[in-house]
A and B are shown apart, each in its own frame.
Chain A
């Protein structure tokens, strides 16, 4: 079974700062996908970024980037120039691309951006 661990229950940074959220996972699979989802107070789950395990290049989406370390089974999310609208729960998720398997989520990190 796969597990995803997010070791930071809550983080708080000042607006415009850079923040990194940690995520580690455990799997014996070689082919898999990793995701970061954002859940603001509206409770909508929003896909932030995804990474395929076979790709060595780290994914980036505007101010969001990941540091994917496959050997270490680490998948951290960096948010640059943080904005008040980034305040949300952030969930790391893992998926094996096999049939209709669902996502395995970490417990989440509550990120607070202070003005």
Chain B
């Protein structure tokens, strides 16, 4: 069983398009996250979300928006894609109510904008 899954694993699209990446976790966790890994492998938090709050990293353009239909899903929508959006995007989840805090990551989605 895949604990945190993302679809698609690879996404190639043109500038200006709108795209979505889906994330699902079956761990029963209460908090989900999106991270961006750039070409130098640097990982940076984009969003954190649980049923109480959405935390947005202030450096994330408002073209990026998380959508959570339920506790097990946190999808990432990106409007008007730009070349600089090319990166690997990771979804993660954790159970902060249980004070565990370790985050489990999905396999990543490599987004290429041409």
Interface residues, chain A, CB within 8 Å of chain B? 33, 35, 37, 39, 42-47, 50, 89, 91, 95, 97, 99-105, 107-108
Q: Is the interface of B mostly helix, strand, loop or mixed?
A: strand
Known A97-B96, A100-B55, A102-B48; contact A44-B41, beta-carbon cutoff 8 A? no
CB distance from A62 to the nearest CB of B (A): 16
A105–B44 CB distance below 8 A: yes
Could you say which residues of chain B place their CB within 8 Å of the CB of A99?
A: 48, 50, 52-53, 55, 96
Name the residue on B nearest A110 (C-beta).
B41
A89–B41 CB distance below 8 A: yes
A107–B40 CB distance below 8 A: yes
Could you say which residues of chain B place their CB within 8 Å of the CB of A37?
A: 105
Q: Among B42, B99, B103, B108, point to the contact of A43 (Cβ < 8 A).
A: B108
Q: Among B40, B45, B49, point to the contact of A103 (Cβ < 8 A).
A: B45
